[in-house]
């Protein structure tokens, strides 16, 4: 079977089911893992598939991602207390990257009000609030991704490669107790991963409800984070297990 024929067969299988396991592709094609990997990389570079941990998605599968405004309405109380608690853990004078998530936005707003830190962000809502707050906020360049109100793409990544942060505040679309943090889109995953690599201390902000959600792109393992801030609804079994990999703070209203 030629590379063209293999890739056409891969596309047929992905179009039919929208999500296909790598092992199922190997069985259907009768090829080696290395050959399949090259085919999937080529198809992903063409924008025809999205690779995930152990599988492949059709790009339309990602269109179900909820908008920023919808996410803001999900667990708003938990997000507020998580974000404010994380802000209290960041010392005066630290340089901070704030990710473009709804929980991370709460941390960014608290730090803007405090006006003791230099903030870098790809969050359009945080930049908007920065116009009327005393704190200093610096925008990463990039392409606007309207559904998440984030700046992403090659320009944003190039900015990040030149920067170093004391703290990176990162959000997630979904959590897995074994595999870590997931997000819905490849360009946002790349930016989150880059920010994690360029920060001395990395904070994950994610409420307990993220364990019941799904997202295709695994951008970090639990051990990639210095600390995880979550809410009191987290199952005790998850806390007991994950505290072996990352320090956990249960955020509560005082």
Q: Which CATH number fits domain 68-251: 3.40.50.11740, 3.40.50.1360, 3.30.230.10, 3.30.1050.10?
A: 3.40.50.1360
Residues 176, 201: Cα–Cα separation, whole Å:
22
CATH 1.10.10.10 domain residues, the chain: 3-62
Please name the CATH architecture into which domain 3-62 falls: Orthogonal Bundle (1.10)
Q: Residue 220 has what pLDDT? A: 97
Ramachandran angles phi, psi of 131, nearest 5°: -70, -20
Residues 79, 207: Cα–Cα separation, whole Å:
7
Q: Over pLDDT 90: what percentage of the chain?
A: 61
| Confidence label for 148 from pLDDT (cuts 50, 70 and 90) | confident
Q: Residue 251 has what pLDDT? A: 94
The pTM score is 0.74
Pairing of strands 199-205, 227-231: parallel
* Residue 231 CA to its chain's centroid (Å): 18
CATH 3.40.50.1360 domain residues, the chain: 68-251
Mean pLDDT for 64-92 is 81
């Amino acid at each position: 079977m030629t590379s063209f024929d293999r890739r056409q067969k891969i596309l047929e299988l992905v179009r039919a089911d929208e999500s296909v396991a790598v092992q199922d592709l190997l069985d259907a094609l009768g090829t080696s893992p290395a050959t399949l990997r090259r085919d999937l990389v080529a198809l992903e570079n063409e924008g025809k598939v999205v690779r995930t941990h152990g599988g492949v998605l059709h790009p339309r599968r990602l269109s179900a991602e909820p908008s920023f405004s919808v996410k803001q309405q999900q667990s708003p109380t938990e997000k507020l207390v998580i974000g404010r608690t994380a802000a209290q853990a960041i010392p005066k004078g630290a340089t901070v990257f704030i990710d473009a998530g709804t929980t991370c936005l709460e941390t960014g707003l608290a730090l803007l009000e405090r006006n003791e830190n230099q903030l870098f962000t790809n969050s359009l809502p945080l930049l908007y609030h920065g116009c009327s707050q005393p704190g200093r906020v610096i925008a990463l360049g990039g392409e606007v991704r309207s559904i998440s109100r984030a700046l992403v793409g090659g320009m944003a990544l190039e900015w990040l490669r030149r920067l170093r942060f004391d703290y990176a505040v990162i959000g997630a679309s979904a959590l897995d107790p074994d595999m870590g943090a997931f997000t819905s889109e490849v360009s946002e995953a790349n930016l989150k991963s880059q920010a994690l690599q360029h920060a001395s201390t990395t904070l994950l902000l994610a409420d307990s409800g993220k364990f019941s959600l799904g997202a295709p792109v695994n951008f970090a393992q639990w051990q990639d984070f210095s600390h995880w801030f979550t809410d009191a609804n987290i199952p005790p079994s998850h806390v007991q297990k994950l505290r072996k990999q990352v320090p956990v703070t249960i955020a509560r209203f005082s």
